[in-house]
Amino acid sequence: MKKSLLTLLFGLVLAQPLSLSLAEDGSPSQGEAAAVQDERIRVDEKGRIHLDFVDAEVVDVAQSISELTKKNFIIDDKVKGKITIISPLAVSVQEAYQAFISALEVKNFSVVPAGKMLKII
């Protein structure tokens, strides 16, 4: 089958804020660690988020944000490039998502709804 122009990143639609169980050392517990597998996203003891994406590929950041927010993305193959999002101060999941949208806009990309999916074009 010919390679599609679209890449699908699967996740669930965000319906409520992210809540993680934390281990004694403050890291996500083993059961929750799979929710966000990117070491560039750190969750503090209050469930707030720290982002550390420096010159990261847009598609890689989109996958991590998809895991974090449980949003579904369709990404056009023309969406390429690197973005930087740094939040040493904790932010909510919604604020992390808004930072991602803003970083995409800096690169002249848009996010548009497509049913239960979001298209990055």
- pLDDT (0 to 100) of residue 47: 87
- Span 6-42, pLDDT tens digits: 333 333 233 233 333 334 433 333 333 335 778 999 9
Q: Where are the alpha helices (DSSP H) in the chain?
A: 30-33, 58-69, 93-106
- pLDDT (0 to 100) of residue 38: 84
- pLDDT (0 to 100) of residue 1: 36
Bridge-based pairing state of the strands 49-57 and 41-43: antiparallel
* pTM, to two decimals: 0.70
**Least confident interval from 44-48, 54-58, 115-119:** 44-48
Task: Read off the DSSP letter of residue 91.
Answer: B
Cβ of 43: how many Cβ atoms within 10 Å? 23
Residues 95-116 have a mean pLDDT of: 96
Closest CA to 68 of 76, 80, 79, 87: 87
